[in-house]
Amino acid sequence: MSDVLTEMCVLGGCATHRTVTDDCKRCGNYRAEIERRRTLPLTDGADGLKRKNVSSDGRTLPANEYIDKRGWRYKVQSGIGQNTYKAKFLRPDRNSTSGWHGYSHLPWRNTFDEAQADLDDLAAAKGWAII
């Protein structure tokens, strides 16, 4: 099995389509990751709900929202489907309920923590302020 396919499987799917391909399902690393996630214990969240923390480093990042000098807001939101998260932006002249758009310079991620870490790094590099 190639290293590229193995890396795609560990990340949760094909990097191009952000889905799990048939090749990923046959890969031993993919199956091992699924089994690892199944054995994780449920933990109490700050909101009282039980959840599994599937981040490889065990972090649970706060949901930071940022604003740039133009007044554009940035935050991580889930996409359509399971385990899809991306940094999104909202222009100041748009409605906050339907005007959020995906930030194209950051990739889709399988966990909220991964997407939030991407956004945190970008915000630090660009000097955005936390709201």
Distance of CA 41 to the CA centre of its chain: 21
Give the per-residue pLDDT at 6: 44
Question: In Å, what is the CA distance from 48 to each residue of 43, 51, 85, 125?
Answer: 9, 10, 22, 34
Indicate the domain borders of the chain: 3-43, 66-130
How long is the chain?
131
Give the per-residue pLDDT at 56: 46
Structure tokens, 113: 């923590």
Tens of each residue's pLDDT in the chain, 131 residues: 344 444 444 444 444 444 556 665 566 665 666 666 666 666 666 666 666 555 543 446 678 899 999 999 999 988 887 778 999 999 999 877 778 999 999 999 988 888 999 999 999 999 999 99
Give the per-residue pLDDT at 119: 95
What CA–CA distance (Å, rounded) separates 25 from 32? 10
Give the per-residue pLDDT at 31: 62
Give the per-residue pLDDT at 13: 47
Give the per-residue pLDDT at 52: 55
Reference 81, options 18, 10, 3; nearest CA is 18
pTM over 0.85: no
The helix or strand, by DSSP H or E, that contains position 90, with its residue range, turns out to be strand 85-90
Give the per-residue pLDDT at 97: 77
**Burial grade of 116 (CB within 10 A; 0-12, 13-18, 19 or more):** buried
What CA–CA distance (Å, rounded) separates 69 from 75? 15
